[in-house]
Structure 1
Amino acid sequence: MSDCIFCKIIAGEIPASKVYEDEQILAFLDISQVTPGHTLIVPKEHYRNLLEMDAASASQLFAQVPLVAQKVMKATKAAGMNIIANCEEVAGQTVFHTHVHLVPRYSAEDDLKIDFIAHEPDFDKLAQVAETIRNA
């Protein structure tokens, strides 16, 4: 896509700090660096997000996630890592080309905040939702 910044990076039209590349995948440092070493892994073929990808293409993408994540962890000496794929604007996606964020974590006080609010389980509701998903 001509207006996609990641497609332009893949085509070499925009510079990037590449950390991994093969025939299908490119990984490079995110320019906004939520934490030092924040890396994006993108398929070279344009997909809006993971929800648009076929299983084979998603498998190629995710096959490289552990390899790149391990390299980032080793290089940064981070204490942990968040691996995130945002799908659609409501979920925080801002670039509409599939990508996986590797965000090294150095402490609970760094610049990435993810708060899950735990709720008391409603097992009847869980069963209904599970049934709906199975039947989709």
Structure 2
Amino acid sequence: MAGCVFCGIVAGELPAVRVVDEPDGVAFLDTRPVFKGHVLVVPRTHLVTLADLPTEALAGYFGLVRRLAVAVEAGLDAGGTFVAMNNKVSQSVPHLHTHVVPRTKGDGLRGFFWPRTRYTDDAEARSYADRVSAALASGRS
């Protein structure tokens, strides 16, 4: 869809630090991560909310989300993950997306008040994406 940031990323027209690109979706690092390694998973087609995701696409899309949740934990030595999705309210980009956020005990995340951070540079961002991609490729997800 014209003007959609995530459609631009999926099409390769806009830059993103990609973690994985598969038929069921594309995953890339959030540019304002809650914690470093925070991944966004989007379907390849422009859909706005979860209700718009066709039933036949559920298994593939959420299978990818599940695999990424495991890969984020394994690849980043996280204690766990926080997986979340907003529909309309607080949805910063009107394209269906799922947040996969690495968690550690005592990381300070409380409720839905999400502190944001930044990567030091592109190389640091790429290193986080590479670690998650490697865990995904190795089957640790």
- Aligned residue runs from structure 1 range 65-80, under 5 A: 65-80=65-80
Whether the 8 Å contact between 1:50 and 1:58 is mirrored in structure 2 is: no
CA–CA separation in structure 2 for the residues paired with 1:27 and 1:106: 21
Runs of 4+ in 1 over 6 A off after TM superposition: none
CA–CA separation in structure 2 for the residues paired with 1:109 and 1:74: 17
Identity in percent: 35
Gaps of 5+ in 1: 116-136
Q: Could you say which structure has the greater relative contact order, defined with CA pairs below 8 angstroms and 6 or more residues apart?
A: 2
Equivalent position SS for 2:51: helix
When the two chains are superposed, the root-mean-square deviation of aligned CA atoms in Å is 1.4
Q: Does 1:114 align with 2:102?
A: no
CA–CA separation in structure 1 for the residues paired with 2:50 and 2:3: 19
| Equivalent residue number for residue 97 of structure 2 | 99
Normalising to structure 2: TM-score of the pair?
A: 0.74
Number of equivalent positions: 112
Q: Does 1:4 align with 2:16?
A: no
- Aligned residue runs from structure 1 range 28-43, under 5 A: 28-43=28-43
CA–CA separation in structure 2 for the residues paired with 1:98 and 1:15: 18
Gaps of 5+ in 2: 113-141
